[in-house]
Amino acid sequence: MEKNQHKHHFLFVAFPIQGHINPVRHLAMRLTTLSNTTVTISTAVSCHRRMFNVSDPNQEVQEGNLTYIPFSNGYDNGFNSETDDPKLYLSTFKQNGLKTLSTIVQSLSQRAHPVTCIVYTILMSWAAGVAREHNIPSVFFWNQTATVFAICYHFFHGYESLITDHASNPEFTIHLPELPPLKIRELPSFITITDPNHPFFSGLFALRCDFEALDLEAGDRQLPKVLFNSFSALETSALASVNEIETLSIAPLMPFLFSGSVDEVHRDLFKNDERDYMNWLDSKEEGSVVYVSFGSVAMMKKTQMEEMMKGLKESGRPYLWVVRKDNREEGVELDEGGEEGMVIQWCSQLRVLSHRAVGCFVTHCGWNSMLESLVCGMAMVGVPQFSDQATNAKLVEEVWGSGVKGKVDEEGVLKGEELKRCLDMVMNEGEESVRIRRRAKMWRDKALEAVNEGGSSYANLEAFLSLL
């Protein structure tokens, strides 16, 4: 890709959780290697502090070609679920974010580093308002699947009443343009919320604002551009289902695909476990280990934790299980380490998924985790919790064929025997097991093809730069 003659300065504005920070960092790093570009990443002070462990929470950080400048969202010590009102969180976030992000844009201009484009993630559409205030182009970076984007787009453009009228019937089937039939229980959970007192109802309002911002762009007689953390071969129909948007799939963006090393600098919000889990993996046979992680947000119930341990032990396979420090339940017996299994608090997930010993990923189906799994050619067992995860689990089992979805009981718990069944389905040597693993390897190959020169994601990123 040729260097652009005009030097761009991108300001990325990210919602302060791991699942939004990671793809933003990956896209930012990719842009700096492909064009004459500088990038500033801005997220909330609370998140910035955890990423860099700085004494001054407002301290600007320079890391290679990237600059990090935090904004205040009114919760500089982070959101406390026990004391803070979730219904006020996003409105306070927006009110404070508008002011402080605008100040950052002004400051950069005064320092002779004017921003030429603002890129914002889900729930951050107010950043587009800052861009309009300063007469700067803005672009929406959708960091979930294109399928979930298409579902949400159609929900806000003609299908809202149909979905909300049947929200209490999990088996009711919805038919959306270009998408497979979807039951209510397979839709993103945030669009089936009808109770205004639900703690996540404000999230639905913020999501509505995201799509209203796109409609506003369309009203200005521009075709809104949306960047997708996906690739064309994976979601061809979903990308084609919304004609009113210029869809640019640009993933996968993990730096190791371009550097050849998984030992990249991480800016995780959780401390890596100090135990040598990689050495433990080195001691295991190829494809024998079950890796379990429910990501950075989902909280596993005590009952689910007990059933998970039961199923892992009954499977007879070695396991590496991530249970975050904030999700440690008293009274739950966890085998912290040993030959048969190791329980750790956090890890470098790409290093684990790319290890020869790992043969299956038991995941909550958060999109970052699933995309990393796809890139590593890893078969999955899906145990969705909330948000976009039920839709993602359907995709991996019924559309992509690279995993299975665990069946939960009426309390939403995956029983130990069901986990064992799923592990057998994915890791045994039967015809279906082999087919699932073959499909997982196929998607790995297609992902690599997309980001290589001449691939669809490479071409879309090049087109995006040329449009600015």
Phi, psi of 326 (to 5 degrees): -80, 0
CA distance 458 to 461: 5
Report the greatest alpha carbon distance in the chain.
65
pLDDT truncated to tens, each residue of the chain (468 aa)? 444 445 889 999 999 998 999 999 999 999 988 877 899 999 999 999 989 987 787 889 998 889 999 999 999 999 887 888 888 999 999 999 999 999 999 999 999 999 999 999 999 999 999 999 999 999 999 999 999 999 999 999 999 999 999 999 999 999 999 999 999 999 999 999 888 887 778 889 999 999 999 998 887 667 888 999 999 999 999 999 998 899 999 999 988 787 665 556 567 766 777 788 999 999 999 999 999 999 888 888 889 999 999 999 999 999 999 998 888 775 566 766 677 899 999 999 999 999 999 999 999 999 999 999 999 999 999 999 989 999 999 999 999 999 999 999 988 899 999 999 999 999 999 999 999 999 999 999 999 999 999 999 999 999 998 877
**Which amino acid is present at 278?**
M
Tell me the three state secondary structure of residue 3: coil
Domain with CATH 3.40.50.2000 in the chain: 8-256+451-467, 271-448
Sorted by sequence, the CB contacts under 8 Å of residue 363 that are 6+ apart come out as 292, 293, 294, 295, 369, 370, 373, 380, 381, 382, 383
**Predicted pLDDT at 2:** 46
**Could you tell me if 3 and 35 are in contact, meaning their C-beta atoms sit under 8 angstroms apart?**
yes
CA distance 291 to 294: 10
Q: Report the candidate in 137, 375, 37 with the shortest Cα–Cα distance to residue 234.
A: 375
b/e for 100-118, b at 16 or more Cβ within 10 A? bbbebbeebeeeeeebbbb
Tell me the three state secondary structure of residue 375: helix
Helix, strand, coil percent content, the chain, rounded in steps of 5: 45, 15, 40
Q: Report the candidate in 267, 386, 324, 323 with the shortest Cα–Cα distance to residue 16.
A: 267
- Residue 147 has a CB neighbour count (10 Å cut-off) of 27
Residue 20 among the catalytic residues: yes
Alpha-carbon Rg for the chain, nearest whole angstrom, is 22
**Could you tell me if 177 and 154 are in contact, meaning their C-beta atoms sit under 8 angstroms apart?**
yes
CATH fold for the domain made of 8-256+451-467: Rossmann fold (3.40.50)
Q: Report the candidate in 280, 406, 270 with the shortest Cα–Cα distance to residue 335.
A: 280
CATH fold for the domain made of 271-448: Rossmann fold (3.40.50)
CA distance 284 to 204: 45
Phi, psi of 289 (to 5 degrees): -95, 140
Pairing of strands 37-42, 8-13: parallel
- How far from each other are the two terminal CA atoms of the chain, in whole angstroms? 16
Six token digits for residue 108: 């950069």
**Which amino acid is present at 252?**
P
Strand order in the sheet with 225-228: 61-63, 66-68, 37-42, 8-13, 117-120, 138-142, 225-228, 246-249
- Residue 373 has a CB neighbour count (10 Å cut-off) of 27
Pairing of strands 61-63, 66-68: antiparallel
Q: Report the candidate in 323, 287, 325, 289 with the shortest Cα–Cα distance to residue 308.
A: 323
Sorted by sequence, the CB contacts under 8 Å of residue 264 that are 6+ apart come out as 255, 256, 350
**Predicted pLDDT at 201:** 80
**Predicted pLDDT at 293:** 95
The catalytically annotated residue of 6, 8, 9, 20 is: 20
Q: Which residue has the tokens 């993933």?
A: 251
CA distance 31 to 141: 14
